[in-house]
Amino acid sequence: MAIFVIALGAVVILAASTRGAGMAAIVYALPVMVGGAAIYALGAILTNLIAIREASDRQAAALTELVAQRRTATLST
């Protein structure tokens, strides 16, 4: 994300320094950069959600195994 901020700053500085064509280019560059950042953020969110889901599945399996062991121990006594 830091690279995005640096690139955005560079685009703004370059556009402001050239004043002519640079300002026209910034009209197209900013939405593309913001869209790219949004896609990157959504990808990171999805990756975290997948990791959370996998962790909860592992926890559920471990809990199921513990309950099964406890039932086996209770039935054998």
Q: Which two tokens stand for residue 7?
A: 């690139």
Is the model's pTM score more than 0.85?
A: no
For the chain, give the mean pLDDT.
84
With contact defined as beta carbons under 8 Å apart, do 8 and 33 qualify?
Answer: yes
Over residues 32-46, the pLDDT tens digits come to: 888 888 899 999 999
With contact defined as beta carbons under 8 Å apart, do 20 and 14 qualify?
Answer: no
Q: Which two tokens stand for residue 59?
A: 């926890």
d(CA 76, CA 10): 72
Walk along the chain (77 residues) and give the pLDDT tens digit of each residue.
Answer: 677 777 777 777 777 776 666 677 777 777 888 888 889 999 999 999 999 999 999 999 999 999 999 988 887 76
